[in-house]
């Protein structure tokens, strides 16, 4: 691989990101010929300049000149290449300060562990996370089994190697049934959103917020065929990013307000009354959860059950 530093000529952000590290893959990997532009951020401490980059969730710092980042960046990039490619996701254990790169081959996600440990592979990121979590609890990287410290998933930007947050999650949490959890990411070309569910990639083009409903419908149908979902509305879109929520919001028609757990929540209809929704705002995360149902009563019942499961005593009013 070849690394060099070049000036950022984009006037919109070149004060904050004065340089890019240009990483060119010239050796024989699956990524040969690919060029990454890794943003180099600058901060000032007194009169000294600090440069830093974030590559696949690992932050590197250098003092004085951006070129001082090159050696450690190359070392890091070399160590990140596994099965002949860069990771497509990372799992982050915040408390343990560990980052676990995950690699995609065809439609399968791989995580390898050090020292002849197990390899976790599955089509669904959720399964890989579940198994990795179990292993990390067992070897006490995440503390005692069942306690705290979740693994957070992030996508890897295919142009900058920076982190990308999921635009939302698809979730099923029904007492007495197996949970389902799937992060949804924007595709590499920015034209679609996708996730992996029921052993396949599920993708739908971005269409002013409608993609949220379409992908949820797609995944719900696939899970039902896979006997992992009894009621299609048990699958809900949760923790939407603000931009995604803004797009979805334009598709909703306000209808009424309902009382759940002693609080009032507005109810919306969408898609010509096919869908009824209530929104749970989570200001501390700047994320939005959707409860969906076939009627307003159905939505209220689902919210009530979920709040009880989560032992929610106080919810922010939307």
Partner 1 sequence: MKKVLSTVRVHRILWNVVLIGVMMSLVGTAFAQEGGFTNDEIAFAIDNMMMFIAAVLVLFMQAGFSMVEAGFNGGKNTINILFKNLMDLSIGGVLYFLIGYQIMYPGDFNGILGFGGIGIPGQDALDPGYYPHYQTDFLFQVAFAATAATIVSGAVAGRMQFRSYLVYSAVLTGLIYPIAGSWQWGGGWLSELGFHDFAGSLIVHGVGGFAGLAGAIVLGPRIGKFNKDGTANPMPGHNITAATLGVFILLIGWFGFNPGSVLAMTGEANTIAVVVVAVNTFLAACTGAIGAMMISYFLNKGKPDLGMALNGMLAGLVGITANADVVTNIESLLIGLIAGFLVVGGMVLLESLRIDDPVGAWPVHGLCGIWGGIATALFGGANLGIQLLGSAAYSIWAFVLMFGVFYALKTIGFLRVNEKEELEGLDISEHGAVNYPEFGAVIAD
Q: What is the β-pairing status of strands 35-45 and 19-24?
A: antiparallel
**Nearest approach, Cβ of 179 to partner 1 (angstroms)?**
12
CB of residue 165 to partner 1, shortest distance in Å: 21
Instruction: 306-312: list long-range contacts, CB under 8 Å, 24+ apart.
Output: 306/173, 307/260, 307/261, 309/173, 309/175, 312/261
Would you say 156 or 270 has its CB closer to partner 1?
A: 156
Query: How many residues are given for the chain?
Result: 318
* Contact residues for partner 1, defined by CB under 8 A: 79-80, 82, 98-101, 113-121, 130-131, 134-135, 138-139
Q: How far is the CB of 181 from partner 1 (least distance, A)?
A: 14
Exposure class string for 243-259: b at 16+ Cβ within 10 A, else e: ebbebbeebbeeeeebe
CB nearer partner 1, residue 138 or residue 230: 138
Minimum distance, C-beta of residue 131 to partner 1, in the bound complex (Å): 5
| Complex with partner 1: residue 111 or 303, whichever CB lies closer | 111
Q: What is the largest CA-CA distance in the chain?
A: 62
Of residues 16 and 201, the one with the C-beta less far from partner 1: 201
What's the CA gap between 189 and 292, in Å, rounded?
A: 29
With residue 305 as reference, give the H or E element that holds it: helix 296-310
Residue 85 DSSP label: B
CB of 139 to partner 1, least distance (A): 6
By C-beta, is 117 or 205 nearer to partner 1?
A: 117
Q: How far is the CB of 82 from partner 1 (least distance, A)?
A: 7
Residue 206 · residue 193 · CB < 8 Å = yes
Instruction: Give the residue with the Cβ less far from partner 1, 126 or 252.
Output: 126
Q: Is 76 helix (H, G, I), strand (E, B) or coil?
A: helix
CB of 219: closest distance to partner 1 in angstroms?
20
- 3 state DSSP class of 211: helix
User: To the nearest whole angstrom, how small is the minimum distance from the Cβ of residue 118 to partner 1?
Assistant: 4
Contacts of 193 by beta carbon, 8 Å cutoff, 6+ apart: 167, 184, 185, 186, 187, 203, 204, 206, 211, 212, 215
Is residue 232 helix, strand or coil? helix
| Closer residue to partner 1 (CB): 100 or 265 | 100
CB nearer to partner 1: give 69 or 93: 93
């Amino acid at each position: 691989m070849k690394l060099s530093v070049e000036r950022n000529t984009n006037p919109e952000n070149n004060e904050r990101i004065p340089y890019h590290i240009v990483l060119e893959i010239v050796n024989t990997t699956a990524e040969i010929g690919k060029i990454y532009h890794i943003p180099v951020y600058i901060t000032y401490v007194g009169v000294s300049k600090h440069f830093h980059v974030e590559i696949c969730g690992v932050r590197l710092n250098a003092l004085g000149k951006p070129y001082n980042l090159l050696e450690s960046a190359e070392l890091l990039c070399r160590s990140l290449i596994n099965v002949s490619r860069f990771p497509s996701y990372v799992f982050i254990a915040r408390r343990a300060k560990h980052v676990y790169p995950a690699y995609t081959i065809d439609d399968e996600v791989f995580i390898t562990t050090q020292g002849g440990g197990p390899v976790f592979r599955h089509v669904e990121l959720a399964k890989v996370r579940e198994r990795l979590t179990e292993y990390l609890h067992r070897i006490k990287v995440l503390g005692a089994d069942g306690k705290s410290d979740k693994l957070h998933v992030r996508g890897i930007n295919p142009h900058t190697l920076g982190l990308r947050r999921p635009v939302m999650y698809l979730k099923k949490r029904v007492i007495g049934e197996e949970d389902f959890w799937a992060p949804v990411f924007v595709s590499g070309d920015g034209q679609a959103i996708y996730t992996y569910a029921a052993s396949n990639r599920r993708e739908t083009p971005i269409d002013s917020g409608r993609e949220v409903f379409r992908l949820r419908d797609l995944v719900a149908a696939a899970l039902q065929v896979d006997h992992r979902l009894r009621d299609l509305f048990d699958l809900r879109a949760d923790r939407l990013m603000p931009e995604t929520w803004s797009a979805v919001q334009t598709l909703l028609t306000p209808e009424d307000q309902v009382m759940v757990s002693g609080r009032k929540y507005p109810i919306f209809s969408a898609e010509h009354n096919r869908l009824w929704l209530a929104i749970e705002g989570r200001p501390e995360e700047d994320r939005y959860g959707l409860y969906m149902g076939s009627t307003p009563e159905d939505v209220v019942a689902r919210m009530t059950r979920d709040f009880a499961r989560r032992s929610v005593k106080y919810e922010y009013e939307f």
